[in-house]
Amino acid sequence: MKEQIGYPYTMLPDDMFQHGGAGYGGQGTLCGSLGACSAIINLVAMDQHFSHNAIVADLINWYASATFPTSRFDDICRFPEQIKVSPNSPLCHISASTWTVAAGTNVDSYERKDRCAKVAGEVAYQTVLRLNAYVDGSYAPSAPGPSEATAYCLNCHGPAAFNNQQGKMSCMLCHSDHTK
Ligand code: HEC
Ligand code: HEC
């Protein structure tokens, strides 16, 4: 974008999203690659239809249902063919921890860093696919939305009823079902 469009993208420092690493300041909150790419989506696709929010939601839904790491970068990484795990969540903590345990390593290992570098690369790739479609006028969400189990909880906690819950993450990762 810096090369082909120029301003304002020439104003973005290369290290602008450095703070997103390890879920922002090492806190394991949102996966930093989702945060960084969401900022770019906001810059490119903000319009009166709130396309930027739709694309961010689609990217996050895609992330939670994907299996990581992708094989796309196996030719250029140090650890190709790593074990693949679906994070089921956009949170750095859940994404990184479930993979780390499945891989039998620890979070400071080079293997884990290689895995997360591949995650970041794939999130950037998926962002570019969506933004190119947006610019072509052909964008449509492609990731699966909330699961049936989550939709069940949102029947009562969502906007049509009590409306006391924020978000669309998979509820059962953190809560048990109090209706059973
Ligand atoms: C039939 C409606 C209904 C459904 C479906 C439902 N809830 Fe609730 N939920 C309630 C009501 C009413 C309360 C508040 C009263 C109470 O504590 O039971 C509540 C309370 C809660 C609380 C507060 C703490 C607690 O346990 O009381 C949490 C957390 C919660 N629900 C999560 C969920 C999740 C996760 C699901 C899906 C598995 C879900 N709920 C499905 C109606 C529902
Ligand atoms: C990443 C973990 C996580 C996910 C995913 C999650 N929650 Fe929660 N939720 C919490 C925590 C932690 C709290 C605060 C502690 C508590 O009350 O359980 C909370 C609080 C709540 C409360 C208020 C409970 C109270 O009594 O104050 C409700 C209602 C609730 N969640 C519903 C949901 C629903 C519905 C979903 C799915 C759409 C969901 N949550 C997804 C972790 C999560």
Q: Report which protein residue has its CA nearest ligand 1's atom 16.
A: 178
C-alpha 75/C-alpha 158 separation (Å) is 45
Average pLDDT over residues 10-24: 95
C-alpha 36/C-alpha 18 separation (Å) is 9
Chain centre to alpha carbon of residue 78: 23
Residues near 7 by beta carbon (within 8 Å), at least 6 away in sequence:
none
Q: 140-170: per-residue pLDDT in tens?
A: 999 999 999 999 999 999 999 999 999 999 9
pLDDT of 1 strictly over 90: no
pLDDT-based confidence at residue 49 (cuts at 50, 70, 90): very high
Considering every ligand atom shown, identify the ligand nearest to the alpha carbon of residue 171 and give its number.
Answer: 2
Beta-strand (E) ranges in the chain?
none
Whether the pTM exceeds 0.85: the reply is yes
* Alpha-carbon torsion (7, 8, 9, 15), positive or negative: positive
Residues near 29 by beta carbon (within 8 Å), at least 6 away in sequence:
23, 91, 92, 93
Our mutation pick for probing the ligand 2 site, out of 60, 165, 179, counting the most ligand atoms within 8 A of Cβ, is 165
Q: Partners of 17 in the beta sheet?
A: none
